[in-house]
Structure 1
Amino acid sequence: MTHDHDLVLRPTAAETSAALNPPPGRNGGDLVVETLTGLGATTVFGLPGQHALGMFDALRRSDLRYIGLRVENNAGFAADAYGRITGEAAPLLLSTGPGALTSLAALQEAAAASAPVLAISSQIPTAGLGGGRHGYLHELPDQQASFRGVVKSVHTVRTQSQIPSAIAAAWESALTVPHGPVWVEIPQDVLLAETSLPVVTALDATPEDVVPRPELTAVAAHLLSNAARPAIIAGGGVVRADAAGKLRALAEKLDAPVITTFGGKGAFPWEHPLSLQSWLEDRHTTDFLEDADVLLVVGSGLGELSSNYHTFKPRGRVIQIEADLGKLESNHPALGIHADARLALSALLETVGERTDPTAADRVRTVLTRVRERIAAQELTLEQDVLASVRRALPDDSPSFWDMTILAYWAWSAFDPRGSNSMHSAQGAGGLGYGFPAALGAAAADPTRPVLAVSGDGGALYSIAELATAKQYDLNVTWLIVDDGGYGILREYMTDTFGEATATELSRPDYVALAESFGVSGVRTTRETLEVDLAKALATPGPSVVLLPAVLRMFAPTHLG
């Protein structure tokens, strides 16, 4: 028997000659960029540092496009967004110690959101590793220990010959579902030393498929086909797997209502008759889902936000499709199916029977009406007007990136993303500063359409330096900053809990003047002019800032019946 992996391609005479006579002037960094190019990378993000200069010098001898940000964590957010938009592993080049560690919060977000990021860092010289010399600049003798609890996998290099295989293994890991960030580290001397190794040309780094077990999908199909009140919770795994079309087809075949989690925004059409939208922090929605006799959960671990702060107690049978084995049945007993969402939904589509439920759309309308009435009773017209203005100003095919700010919290529940993989936020790990640098990464991935970033003034100050990046690369991002003079959501939480807020008030700059000092156009808007000003900024090529001074309030969630 002959297996595919037993077949070895013989090099041509020209290939042999090229391998025996590699071009002069190459170093370990060249092996890095040649490997990335061979794997299909076209764009890299990062920030240079002394130990990593071998990689950065090699960039000028490659065809890779480099997008350099001003803070490593922001470079990580940009790579995260690039990975979400393209589905490719986004290379992130970093230096040792402080530079590497500064990226940790971004890599935590990428891990929580299953965004494929390939972080490649330098390390102190090999003489300082394994108990050798000490006192190196940036020294972290066990640097990988800082990343092991954050990323999917860690890959260490100690010789030049290890570089291509280590990066290829990391690439494969990043793109095997669930996608996620991975870590490669290479010592400074290995990157700087000249190399006589052949140019890297042939690499095999095919991600593994996570295929559902047929006996499990058969049971799931039987349960769904014979359910009286089926319902579906669609999470971020549906978006990552590009499975929104499969989900819709299955929901329509079953006449099953669908709600999307905050990470799964866009996985199901917002205005569809079966759409419960994303009102997860609402007891009416929770009651509806608890009443389902069969609940299909696709690509969600039913964590804190998706379970209405762990108050969700399903009474029916739960079927959970999840690519992350650690999340399978981690919060609720279920028929657990470890699989890629797209493959599992395809299997279900082939095996479920068609069912008709003339009451499904009416039951969905009833829930949404109750939700709207509850929100309307809270007199939050300013917040609803601002969000509606953003929606009208943003082109339907433009992606949006939301920081951890009150308007984003509204958007999680109330914003129609108008498509799959188009609305992104930092709600996975919940770190500040995500919106603007992530939008820059998305604009680098697709310069043909404008990108919106939304931040509060607190989050904006985390990434204000990236106005220089936006200007330098002329990235097509409009940044909406809602300025309420502090950490608005924390102010609200503390006032509600303790009667007054502490450490939430901020002295802040004139954001319009600050943007203009970077050569980026800025405009101060109002509630009444927001839609026009935002639409104009989005329609104008290049970066821009729209400042909205406003104190927004959060709607009251309901956890208890």
Structure 2
Amino acid sequence: MTHDHDLVLRPTAAQTAAALSAPPGRTGGDLVIETLRGLGATTVFGLPGQHALALFDALGRSDLTYVGLRVENNAGFAADAYGRVTGEAAPLLLSAGPGALTALPALQEAAAASAPVVAIGAQVPARGLGGGRHGYLHELRDQRASFRDIVKSVHEARTASQIPSAVAAAWESALTAPHGPVWVEIPADVLAAPTDLPVVTAPDATPHDLVPRPELTALAAHWLSRAERPAIVAGGGVVRSDAATKLRALAERLSAPVVTTFGGKGAFPWEHPLSLQSWLEDRHTTDFLQDADVLLVVGSGLGELSSNYHTFHPRGRVVQIEADLGKLESNHPALGIHADARLALSALLETVEERHDPAAPERVRAVLEAVRERIDAQGLTLERQVLASVRKALPDTAPSFWDMTILAYWAWSAFDPRRPGTMHSAQGAGGLGYAYPAALGAAAADPDRPVLAVSGDGGALYSVAELATARQHDLPVTWLIVDDGGYGILREYMTESYGRATGTELARPDFVALAESFGVPARRTTPEELEGDLREALAAPGPSVVVLPAVLRMFAPTHTED
């Protein structure tokens, strides 16, 4: 008797012919590259090192596009952004020891933001593994242990024959909801050793669907259909699963107001009558969400920022849809639905009954007006002017990447991204230096549209080496650097908490002259000229830098009753 799966496993005539005629001169490194190509990779990021030379030699024989950055952590940020904007896995090629460890902060951000990065790192020769006593350059007692607490999964290949399966398993893990970074480790001698194994063609690494349990979505639909004051919190999972259209349809069917988290920016139209926008650091928004008798949380763990620093205490029922099992009901008891946001929203749309609440838009307007009045009272004209100028200059479809800087903190709450998946920041893990290398990764994914990066001068100093990358690859990234002479947000925090700031003031370069030394056009601007200068820079081909000397202030958030 023949079963269907037997037919799937039987090689085709072409596969058999290819297996019997493997070209000479291949190594373990070729097996890595062939597997990546077979999985659909077109672009890889990274930085070579001594133990990874065979891997990069194989890369040079392939047709993959290589974007090499100047610091491994920046290469990780670039891969993170590529994964975010494409939804595809982004290969990141690293060496061993310091080269691998330098990428850890970027992988932490990818983990926090659920970005699918497949990091493939070299190791010392196989005989040196596990002891830390052989004296190999870059040797660690257990390199994998450094990654295990950060990435979704760890994979290794100790022989050439294990390479395709290890890479394919990592790829599948990275793209199975929740997306995330993975780590693959291969010893240098395995990468360099000749192989006569067949050429890798099309390994199977289909990600698993994370389907909601029907009895749970049925109960959630029942609650939502009969709610008097339903509301929705839309997180990054909505954007990652391409579920913004389904979210809007559900909100309109239920007349349910929607708040987007900072990671979920763009998941719901900013000017929609049911949009409460993203003012999460405001007591008016927090109170509104607490008053909901049924609160639907989609693709968010309601962590520190999304819960207004854990001052949010829901009084009604909570339904939480979350692909990351570790975040499900981790902060609030809920009807927890472990599922991909798109699949769960589809199930709810098929089940909920339509409810009409003509008063819902007016309730939304009242909250937003109260927020505006509070911000108006703080006299922050410059900050709002700068953010508005950025919005006016940036094309609607152009992605933007924001570092951990005061203007980005404003943008989390006040910036309208206008499209899903066009605004990204490092607020998942909160490391400095994200914006510029991430913008380069997005530009590598689509070099035909401009990309904006926004940094402070402190964060910019983490990334200045990548001006060389931008110039080398002629990537259309405009870098806005807000120069306030130091770590501005830390200056504010320390002054508020301790009455003075220590370690926050920085000597820094002339950023315009520095950019020009890399062959990157640059200009110094003012708040009044910012919109025009940014618009012109974004319209020009290739990289550019715009420097805005300005000291911005944060709006005062409200975590408790004023």
**TM class, shorter-length:** over 0.9
Change (3 A) 1:13 1:396: closer
- 1:128/1:141 contact within 8 Å kept: no
- Give the SS at the match of 1:59: helix
Confirm whether residue 297 of structure 1 aligns to residue 297 of structure 2: yes
Tell me how far apart the structure 1 counterparts of residues 497 and 488 of structure 2 sit (CA, whole Å): 14
Q: Once the two structures are superposed, what CA deviation does each residue of 1:287-338 show, in whole Å capped at 9, x if it has no partner? A: 0000000000000000000000000000000000000001000000000000
Instruction: Give the aligned residue type for 1:279.
Output: W
| Partner amino acid, structure 2, of 1:333 | P
Aligned to 2:161: 161
Q: Distance in 1 between matches of 2:175 and 2:4?
A: 22
Residue 429 of structure 1 aligns with which residue?
A: 429
SS of the residue corresponding to residue 397 of structure 2 reads: coil
Q: Offset at 1:2?
A: 6.9
| Aligned residue number for residue 542 of structure 1 | 542
1:277 equivalent in structure 2? 277
Q: Which 5+ residue runs of structure 1 have no aligned equivalent?
A: none
Q: Following TM superposition, by how much is the alpha carbon of 1:19 offset from its aligned partner in structure 2, in angstroms?
A: 1.2
What does residue 77 of structure 1 align with? 77
Give 1:380's aligned residue: 380
Match of 1:555, SS?
coil
Instruction: Give yes or no for contact 1:127–1:133 (8 Å, CA) kept in 2.
Output: no
- What is the match of residue 87 of structure 2? 87
Pick closer, same or farther for the CA change 1:506–1:343 going to 2, 3 Å: same
CA distance in 1, matches of 2:265, 2:509: 33
1:208-264 deviations in whole A, cap 9, x for unaligned? Answer: 000000000000000000000000000000000000000000000000000000000
Aligned-CA RMSD value: 1.0
The code of the aligned residue for 2:206 comes to T
Q: Tell me, which stretches of 5 or more residues in structure 2 are unaligned?
A: none
Whole-Å separation in 1 of the counterparts to 2:121 and 2:141 = 13
Partner of residue 527, structure 2: 527
| Greater shift in the superposed pair: 215-224 or 5-14 | 5-14
Q: Which digits, 9 at most, give the CA deviation of each residue in 1:72-122, with x for residues without a partner?
A: 000000000000011000000000000000000000000000000000000
Q: Is the 8 A contact 2:132 2:139 kept in 1?
A: no
Residue 148 in structure 1 maps to residue 148 in structure 2:
yes
Change in 2 beyond 3 A, CA 1:21/1:141: farther
Structure-2 separation of matches of 1:3 and 1:112 = 42
1:140 Cα deviation after fit: 1.4
Question: What SS is found at the alignment partner of 2:8?
Answer: coil
Retained in 1: the 8 A contact 2:116–2:179?
yes
> Hey, what does 2:96 align to over in structure 1?
96
Contact 1:43 1:64 in 2 (8 A): yes
Residue 345 of structure 2 corresponds to residue 330 of structure 1: no
In the TM superposition, residue 8 of structure 1 has moved relative to its aligned partner by 3.4
Instruction: Name 1:460's counterpart in structure 2.
Output: 460
The CA deviation at 1:129 is 1.2
- Indicate the SS of the match to 1:295: strand
2:200 is equivalent to residue 200 of structure 1: yes
- The TM-score normalised by the length of structure 1 is 0.99
Q: In the TM superposition, what is the alpha-carbon distance from 1:505 to its structure 2 partner?
A: 0.1
Q: Which moved more, 1:200-209 or 1:14-23?
A: 14-23
Map 1:33-48 onto structure 2 (within 5 A): 33-48=33-48
Aligned twin of 1:505:
505
Cα distance in 2 for residues equivalent to 1:12 and 1:560? 66
Q: What's the offset of the Cα at 1:63?
A: 1.0
Counterparts of 2:217 and 2:156, CA distance in 1: 39
1:148-547, aligned counterparts within 5 Å?
A: 148-547=148-547
- Aligned pair 1:16/2:16, yes or no? yes
Residues 288 and 14 of structure 1: CA distance in aligned 2, closer, same or farther (over 3 Å): closer
* Partner deviation per Cα, 1:176-205 (whole Å, 9 max, x = no partner): 000000000000000001111010013100
Match status 1:120 vs 2:120: yes
Q: CA deviation at 1:61?
A: 1.3
Task: Measure, in 2, the Cα distance between the counterparts of 1:364 and 1:552.
Answer: 29
Does the CA-based 8 Å contact 2:132-2:140 persist in structure 1? no
Distance in structure 1 (CA, Å) of the matches to 2:19 and 2:292: 63
Q: Which amino acid aligns with 2:64?
A: L
CA contact (8 A) 1:109 1:428 kept: yes
Aligned residues between the structures: 561
Taking the aligned partners of 1:318 and 1:97, their CA distance within structure 2 comes to: 45
Q: Distance in 2 between matches of 1:326 and 1:335?
A: 15
The sequence identity of aligned pairs, in percent, is 83
Q: Distance in 1 between matches of 2:10 and 2:474?
A: 46
**Relative to structure 1, is the Cα distance of residues 63 and 315 closer, same or farther in structure 2, using a 3 angstrom cutoff?**
same
Stretch moving more, 6-15 or 235-244:
6-15
Letter in 1 for 2:424: H
- The amino acid that maps onto 1:27 is T
Per mean C-alpha deviation after superposition, the further-off stretch among 4-13 and 18-27 is: 4-13
SS, match of residue 143 in structure 2: coil
Distance in 1 between residues matched to 2:14 and 2:269, nearest whole Å:
53
Post-superposition, which runs of at least 4 consecutive aligned residues in structure 1 deviate over 6 A? none
User: Which amino acid in 1 is paired with 2:473?
Assistant: Y
**Structure 1 residues 364 and 48, CA, compared in 2 at 3 Å: closer, same or farther?**
same
DSSP-derived class of the 1:454 partner: strand
Q: Tell me the SS of whatever aligns to 1:440.
A: helix
Question: How much has 1:60 moved relative to structure 2?
Answer: 1.5
Cα distance in 2, alignment partners of residues 516 and 58 from structure 1: 35
Give 2:115's aligned amino acid. Answer: A
Mapped to 2, the partners of 1:284 and 1:275 lie a distance apart of 14
Contact kept in structure 2, 1:124 and 1:141, CA below 8 Å: no
Kindly indicate whether the alpha-carbon contact (under 8 Å) linking 1:279 and 1:413 is maintained by their aligned counterparts in 2.
yes
Q: What amino acid does structure 1 have at the position aligned with 2:93?
A: L
* Amino acid corresponding to residue 465 of structure 1 in structure 2: A
Out of 123-132 and 446-455, give the one that drifted further.
123-132
Alpha-carbon distance in structure 1 between the residues aligned to 2:24 and 2:132: 32
Measured in 2, the distance between the counterparts of 1:491 and 1:335 equals 41
Q: CA deviation at 1:12?
A: 4.2
1:475 touches 1:543 (CA, 8 Å); kept in 2?
yes
In the aligned structure 2, how far is the partner of 1:356 from the partner of 1:166?
52
Q: CA deviation at 1:3?
A: 5.8
Change (3 A) 1:2 1:221: farther
Q: Which amino acid aligns with 1:175?
A: L
Residue 364 of structure 1 aligns with an amino acid whose one-letter code is V
* 1:386–1:527 contact (8 Å) kept in structure 2: yes
